[in-house]
Amino acid sequence: MKFSTLVRHIREGVKNVFRNGWMSFASIGSIVVSLFVLGVFMLLALNVNQWADQFDSQVQVNAYLESDVGQSKIDELKTRIGSLPEVKKVTFVSKEEGLEKLRQDLDEDVKGALDGYKDANPLPDSFEVELFDAQQVSFVAKQILAFNETDSSKPILSVKYGQGYVEKLFRITNAVRNVGLVVVAGLAVMAMFLISTTIKMTILARRREIGIMKLVGATNNFIRWPFFIEGVVIGLAGSAITTGLLLYGYSKLIESTHYNMGLMMIEIVALNKVGWLVGGTLMALGTLIGVWGSVVSVRKHLRV
């Protein structure tokens, strides 16, 4: 193919979008509508995912120590726990710090109840262990207990990570994540189906034209190229409009909920975190569908 012919195909492909005014409009419309729904659910799923992560990350392992453990033992345990590959951070909390923390968590009017314990602190020293993947808590807890077994002085009193409670939490957050994924995947398939049907219809209407082109001596590739370009243009236009609408709407949403959501301890995922992911996915999907729809349906009519 000559370069000038490629230029011709691109020119004709773009012109065809306008020549088939209403059909192009219908195709772009169906891309916008279905990708918009898909995009909304993607954003929703991403947010739900982040909330699930937030809940998960609050899960940590607390290892309480016997009251007679010396400083050298504490340091040794700290390095051993810290060297576990699943562990992100180990913090030593002395019994005084533990008491102070407890005070802060209590309501104002019952705080006084703790005053009497200042001298005879009943709390043990402890480690707060944060993990990279919160779902590993029970595994890590077992590892820490195993240290205790191998150590003759048995320095660890107990290990707590909200047994029973965290398993339930994980079941819920995992379910939420999976439902989100399934919904998004289902919508993506539906969008592709809907859009390709519309595009197929626009090309079906041009079956006769393809026949005429073949009679004049056009090769299949010569006929295919402008349709291909047309598909790219329609797909790009549709997904660009969708991305624009969606991200603009999302930024407005963030703005308007900035204050009240903060109080609910829930944070909306920032625009710059999801913008590229959602925008990129929609653009790629839209273009792909546009091209796929036009190429597949042209091929059907080429045997004339």
Partner 1 sequence: MHDIWKTYPDGTPALQGINIVIDRNEFVYVVGPSGAGKSTFMKLIYREEVPTKGQLSVNGFNIGKLKQRKIPYVRRNIGVVFQDFRLLPKLSVYENVAFAMEVVESPRRQIRRRTMEVLELVGLKHKASSLPAQLSGGEQQRVAIARAIVNNPSVIVADEPTGNLDPETSWGIMKLLEEINFRGTTIVMATHNKEIVNTLRKRVIAIERGTIVRDQQRGDYGYEV
Q: Which tokens go with 281? A: 């996915």
Closest distance to partner 1 from the beta carbon of 5 (Å): 5
Residue 153 or 221 with smaller CB distance to partner 1: 221
| Residue 33: Cβ-neighbour burial (10 angstroms; 0-12, 13-18, 19+) | middle
Residue (3 or 259) nearer to partner 1, CB:
3
Residue 175 has which token pair?
């379910």
Cα torsion at 13, 18, 19, 23 (round to 10°)? 100
Q: How far is the CB of 232 from partner 1 (least distance, A)?
A: 19
Shortest distance in whole angstroms from residue 51 CB to partner 1: 52
Between 85 and 217, CB nearer to partner 1: 217
Residues in the chain: 304
At closest approach, how far in Å is the CB of 12 from partner 1? 8
CA-CA-CA-CA dihedral for 159, 162, 164, 165, to nearest 10? -170
Residue 217 C-beta: closest distance to partner 1, Å: 4
Residue 4 vs 272, nearer CB to partner 1: 4
Contacting residues toward partner 1, per CB under 8 A: 1-2, 4-5, 8, 16, 19-20, 209, 212-220, 222, 304
What's the one-letter identity of residue 241? I
By beta-carbon proximity to partner 1, the closer residue of 123 and 302 is 302
